[in-house]
């Protein structure tokens, strides 16, 4: 018999516990049917899909459904959909809080055909969790389209070959998107971006790889505060584009690699009323701008020729090397960049360049050598504190 703990004594929902005085097997025997049925009906809080499921089923573990779309109709608000085995489960539009989870070792695919999006989240105040899904574009537009919701969490997903965006999020103030342990590849054709984020919310990326986008790897436009860590951005056109026109954006990029992009590794553009703040730390920005865009390079920060843009950027313990063009190029008044403990070597242009009114500060702690166009151009100094 179980010891009756304070917690189980309080519990009245589970019949097994309230019959503590009844011999164990009697209790189990008498209640097993109730227990099972209870699970099957309460199930609306947890439903199941399987390759041999049927959408006419109740989506229980014993009688799973075949598609996410059918399963979500049988799932409570704040419930869960669990994938039982490997198969494709189809597009779905989510209008309530739900978790869709495919455990590691199970392939849960969504093929997205022309004119469609893979997962559309349109759930005002909803909290949506997507775990372990593979979304593959077959002419489809957007892999995961976050139209509305309080929070979207994307974990262990792989999204490939979408025409516009692998992930598109327009965030209301206070809304959040988390993307973790996820890969994005070959998305953003013919225009668009692997990940496109805009609006007033908060963004967190951790252990995300964005590769092979013919346009931009990650775009953050007008507003979102974003934290990127352990992010790999490789072989896109532009690696990361941060743009502040009307909304202020603050972005931190930590322990990340921006590698072998065809244009700038990181391009920051500011102008208008928004302030662009970015902190890049412990990262590598290497062999970018292979398409030899000019002016271009590893990191390019541009205001406007009228001096209306404000950008405050820091580079800490970061390498910007082997880029075509400058390691770091800052342009126009209003742009100020502090560089501390960095390595900037073997770029084909300048190592660090401040042009047309921008300011780049160093304080003698960085290694800036062997840049073919010259190590420093127009660079100022500052004191540590």
**Minimum distance from residue 325 beta carbon to another protein (Å):** 25
**Minimum distance from residue 118 beta carbon to another protein (Å):** 21
Measured from the CB atom, is 39 or 55 closer to another protein? 39
Establish if 384 lies at the interface with another protein (CB under 8 A).
yes
Is the CA virtual torsion 258, 259, 261, 264 positive or negative?
positive
Bridge partners for 164 per DSSP: none
**Minimum distance from residue 355 beta carbon to another protein (Å):** 20
Measured from the CB atom, is 122 or 341 closer to another protein? 341
For residues 184 and 216, is the Cβ–Cβ distance under 8 A? no
Applying CB under 8 A, the site for another protein has a residue count of 71
Which residues make Cβ contacts (< 8 Å) with residue 191, sequence separation at least 6? 164, 215
Establish if 19 lies at the interface with another protein (CB under 8 A).
no
The DSSP call for residue 139 is B
Query: How far is 249 from 236, CA to CA, in rounded Å?
Result: 22
Establish if 23 lies at the interface with another protein (CB under 8 A).
no
Of 8-16, 141-149, 290-298, 368-376: span binding another protein (CB under 8 A): 8-16
Of 161-169, 199-207, 211-219, 260-268: span binding another protein (CB under 8 A): 199-207
**Minimum distance from residue 155 beta carbon to another protein (Å):** 8
Of 118-126, 162-170, 250-258, 370-378: span binding another protein (CB under 8 A): 250-258
Q: Nearest-CA neighbor of 221 among 257, 181, 251, 259? A: 251
Q: Nearest-CA neighbor of 46 among 11, 73, 80? A: 80
Measured from the CB atom, is 162 or 175 closer to another protein? 175
Establish if 5 lies at the interface with another protein (CB under 8 A).
yes
The DSSP call for residue 108 is E
Establish if 39 lies at the interface with another protein (CB under 8 A).
yes
Within 13 Å, how many C-alpha atoms sit on residue 69's CB side?
10
Interface pick for another protein out of 25, 52, 115, 190 (rule CB under 8 A): 25
Looking at residues 160 to 179 of the shown chain, list those that interact with another protein (rule: CB under 8 A): 176, 178
**Minimum distance from residue 323 beta carbon to another protein (Å):** 23
Looking at residues 128 to 157 of the shown chain, list those that interact with another protein (rule: CB under 8 A): 129, 151, 153
Query: How far is 54 from 64, CA to CA, in rounded Å?
Result: 7
Looking at residues 260 to 289 of the shown chain, list those that interact with another protein (rule: CB under 8 A): 277, 279, 281
Of 31-39, 118-126, 287-295, 300-308: span binding another protein (CB under 8 A): 31-39
Establish if 206 lies at the interface with another protein (CB under 8 A).
yes
For residues 130 and 153, is the Cβ–Cβ distance under 8 A? yes
Query: How far is 97 from 72, CA to CA, in rounded Å?
Result: 10
Query: How far is 274 from 270, CA to CA, in rounded Å?
Result: 7
Helices and strands (H and E) in the chain: how many? 4, 35
Establish if 34 lies at the interface with another protein (CB under 8 A).
no
CB atoms within 10 A of CB 61: 14
Of 209-217, 257-265, 296-304, 338-346: span binding another protein (CB under 8 A): 338-346
Q: Which residue has the tokens 């290497």?
A: 286
Looking at residues 44 to 103 of the shown chain, list those that interact with another protein (rule: CB under 8 A): 45-46, 48, 61-62, 78, 80, 82, 84, 99, 101, 103
119: enclosing H helix or E strand:
strand 117-122
Establish if 204 lies at the interface with another protein (CB under 8 A).
yes
For residues 277 and 312, is the Cβ–Cβ distance under 8 A? yes
**Minimum distance from residue 51 beta carbon to another protein (Å):** 13
Establish if 365 lies at the interface with another protein (CB under 8 A).
yes
The DSSP call for residue 281 is E
Token pair in block for residue 245: 């026109």
Establish if 42 lies at the interface with another protein (CB under 8 A).
yes
């Amino acid at each position: 018999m179980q010891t009756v703990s304070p917690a189980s004594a309080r519990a009245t929902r589970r019949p097994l516990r309230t019959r503590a005085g009844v011999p164990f097997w009697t209790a189990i025997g008498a209640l097993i049917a109730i227990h099972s049925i209870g699970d099957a009906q309460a199930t609306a809080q947890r439903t199941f899909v399987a390759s041999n499921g049927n959408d006419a089923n109740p989506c229980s573990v014993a009688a799973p459904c075949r598609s996410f779309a059918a399963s979500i109709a049988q799932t409570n608000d704040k419930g869960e959909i669990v994938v039982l085995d490997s198969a494709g489960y189809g597009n779905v539009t989510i209008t309530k809080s739900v978790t869709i989870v495919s455990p590691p070792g199970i392939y849960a695919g969504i093929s997205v055909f022309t004119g469609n999006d893979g997962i559309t989240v349109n759930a005002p105040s909803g909290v949506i969790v997507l775990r372990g899904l593979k979304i593959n574009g077959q002419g489809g537009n957007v892999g995961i389209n976050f139209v509305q919701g309080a929070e979207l969490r994307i974990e262990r997903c792989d999204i490939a070959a979408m025409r516009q965006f692998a992930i598109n999020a327009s965030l209301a103030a206070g809304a959040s998107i988390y993307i973790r342990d996820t890969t994005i590849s070959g998305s953003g054709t013919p225009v668009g971006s692997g990940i496109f984020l805009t609006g007033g919310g908060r963004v967190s990326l951790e252990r995300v790889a964005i590769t092979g986008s013919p346009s931009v790897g990650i775009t953050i436009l007008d507003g979102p505060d974003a934290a990127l860590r352990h992010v790999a951005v490789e072989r896109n056109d532009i690696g990361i584009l941060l743009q502040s026109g009307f909304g202020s954006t603050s972005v931190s990029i930590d322990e990340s690699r921006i590698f072998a992009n065809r244009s700038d590794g990181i391009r920051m553009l500011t102008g208008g009323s928004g302030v662009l703040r970015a902190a890049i730390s412990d990262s590598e920005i290497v062999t970018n701008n292979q398409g030899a865009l000019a002016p271009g390079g590893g990191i390019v920060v541009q205001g406007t020729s009228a001096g209306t843009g404000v950008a405050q950027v820091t580079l800490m313990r970061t390498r910007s090397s082997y880029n075509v063009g400058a390691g770091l190029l800052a342009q126009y008044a209003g742009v100020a960049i502090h560089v501390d403990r960095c390595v900037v070597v073997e770029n084909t242009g300048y190592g660090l360049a401040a042009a047309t009114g921008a300011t780049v500060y160093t304080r003698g702690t960085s290694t800036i050598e062997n840049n073919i166009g010259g190590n420093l151009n127009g660079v100022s100094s500052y004191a540590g504190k």
